[in-house]
């Protein structure tokens, strides 16, 4: 499907592997020039090579999204390299080590919000003026089913729920400007070096099989490409009537009716 976004410029945070890489590759497959950021130069360079092989311009920037004050420099470097950012994909995130309220300090809680919420918000602030000026823009925030409903770790669940809420409010308030803002709530997606691959490696096969049986209606882990393709669709005019939404890509794993 030709989504009509060839020649646009996208920034995908955490774009060197996993869901971010899948999003970057799906966008590049539609002819979008893609900037990615991450914390490891070698992984960034490898993914940039794969993106360029699809015939688009690409750049990789070393950046830590959990330090929102550093994101102005990231934004400036991407614009200098590829031009105005038309599509922002806030994918970088993580759940941290602590699980429950009795082992999560306030500093731990804030750190997960920095990574999953405040960095995304700062990048939204940075790209919005030009998107509004050109009356066209797309912002896609990668949340989680554990932001839509109960599950996972305390701070991660709270941060992703806040991201979904901020996305909804921004989407509604910007609806007349031509800037559409949506979120995606992936389920348990297995990819190289991801948390579910580590879970599979660190637990006995019967434990893994029980988790999949109890939680995954399809009887298997999710995989990154459907998330990436949903990002590409939401970046296009084919999704022109969708804003403020949170779309699950979870194989039926989530139990929410909404």
Q: How many helices (H) and strands (E) does the chain have?
A: 10, 7
DSSP-derived 3-state class of residue 120: helix
For 231-246, b/e burial (b = at least 16 CB within 10 A) is bbbbbbeebeeebbbb
Active site annotation includes 146: no
Catalytic residue among 121, 146, 156, 199: 156
Provide the edge-to-edge strand list for the sheet that holds 9-13.
Answer: 58-62, 33-38, 9-13, 87-90, 137-142, 179-186, 246-249
CA distances from 242 to 30, 118, 246 (A): 20, 24, 10
Q: Cα 215 from chain centroid? A: 22
| Cα distance between residue 36 and residue 17, in whole Å | 10
| Cα distance between residue 149 and residue 247, in whole Å | 13
| Cα distance between residue 180 and residue 141, in whole Å | 11
Which positions are catalytic? Answer: 156
């Amino acid at each position: 499907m030709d989504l009509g976004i060839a020649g646009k410029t996208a920034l995908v945070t955490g774009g060197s592997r996993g869901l971010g890489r899948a999003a970057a590759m799906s966008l590049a497959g539609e002819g979008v020039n893609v900037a990615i950021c991450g914390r490891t130069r070698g992984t960034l360079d490898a993914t940039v090579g794969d993106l360029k092989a699809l015939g688009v311009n690409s750049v990789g920037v070393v950046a830590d999204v959990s330090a929102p004050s550093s994101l102005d420099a990231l934004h400036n470097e991407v614009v200098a390299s590829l031009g105005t950012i038309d599509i922002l994909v806030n994918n970088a995130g993580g759940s941290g080590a602590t699980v429950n309220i009795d082992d999560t300090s306030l500093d731990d809680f804030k750190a997960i919000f920095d990574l999953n919420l405040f960095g995304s918000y700062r990048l939204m602030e940075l790209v919005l003026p030009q998107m509004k000026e050109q009356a066209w823009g797309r912002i896609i925030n990668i949340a989680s089913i554990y932001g839509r409903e109960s599950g996972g770790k305390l701070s991660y669940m709270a941060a992703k729920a806040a991201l979904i809420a901020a996305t909804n409010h921004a989407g509604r308030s910007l609806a007349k400007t031509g800037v559409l803002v949506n979120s995606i709530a992936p389920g348990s997606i297995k990819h190289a070096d991801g948390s579910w691959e580590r879970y599979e490696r660190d637990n006995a096969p019967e434990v893994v099989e029980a988790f999949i049986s109890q939680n995954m209606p399809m009887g298997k882990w999710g995989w990154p490409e459907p998330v990436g393709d949903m990002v590409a669709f939401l970046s296009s005019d084919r999704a022109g009537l969708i804003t403020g939404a949170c779309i699950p890509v979870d194989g039926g794993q989530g139990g929410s009716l909404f």
